[in-house]
Homo-oligomer: A and B are copies of this chain.
Amino acid sequence: MLVNRQGKLTAVDQKYPIPLTSSNIRAACAQCSLRELCLAVGLDNEDLHKLDDFVIRRKIKRGQQIFRAGDPFEALYAIRIGFFKTDILTEEGLEQVTGFHMAGEIIGMDGISNDYHVCNATALEDSEICIMPYDQLEELSRHIKSLQQQFHKFMSREIVRDQSLMILLGSMRAEERIAAFLLNLSQRMRVRGYSASEFHLRMTREEIGSYLGLKLETVSRAFSKFHDEGLIGVQQKYIRILNAEGLKALLNHAPS
């Protein structure tokens, strides 16, 4: 087995790069439950089938990577099922997590600007993705106006998302960051029809810290503090939001 239960690589990752010849299934956007979250929003059935013509569905195991920094850019990836992180190895060899990604989100757009990827994308649980070869997506979006518009909105949304994180990193204190992080996760779970008040974290404290510009100890301490204050329940990676209003209140009166 390539990964242990924590998703850590325990051997050379022989499944990378993802083999394009095995376990590939033609996508079926028209039947997909994520149609309204994904790029396909607003497309009619005929157009959906044009997407199906070149979109490939793939299973990805926990710990497996879809692409790595430096890889040539070939496709965008829509998450159908599962949970991913994207991260960058800094010059000093430190990992910095740049995002956590859930069903309906699209990753890989960083690669468009220079024809290679600048980050790694790793599954944090067993997942399923739709591979959208970029040349064909670009071609099709020249012919389907609503696809073009939807695609642009996805890119713009990524810009806006990154800017929110910049604000978080630039102006919030540790506990505010963590409250914001939990509320954001909760919100995204709700949109996808999962419980917004209890969920399993798929990432470690260290990955959360890396994402939020904090050390893992600081993350752990904040979780414990929120727990003691009755704001959340914490048992390892299992989180319950007990007082969402209380968490939101932490965001508003920032002394800094």
Contact between A90 and B155, CB atoms less than 8 A apart: no
Copies of this chain per assembly: 2
Interface assignment of A118: CB less than 8 Å from any CB of chain B: yes
CA distance A58 to B81 in the complex (A): 47
Instruction: Please classify the interface of chain A as helix (H, G, I), strand (E, B), loop, or mixed, using the class held by over half of its residues.
Output: helix
CA distance A109 to B211 in the complex (A): 24
Other 10 A-B pairs with CB < 8 A, given A96-B166, A113-B160: A88-B163, A92-B252, A110-B156, A111-B156, A113-B153, A142-B148, A162-B166, A165-B166, A169-B170, A171-B213
A residues neighboring B (CB under 8 Å): 88, 90-92, 94, 96, 98, 109-114, 118-119, 138, 141-143, 145, 148-149, 152-160, 162-163, 165-167, 169-171, 210-213, 251-254
The 9 closest A-B pairs by CB, nearest first: A112-B156, A170-B213, A162-B162, A113-B156, A169-B169, A113-B157, A155-B155, A113-B153, A96-B167
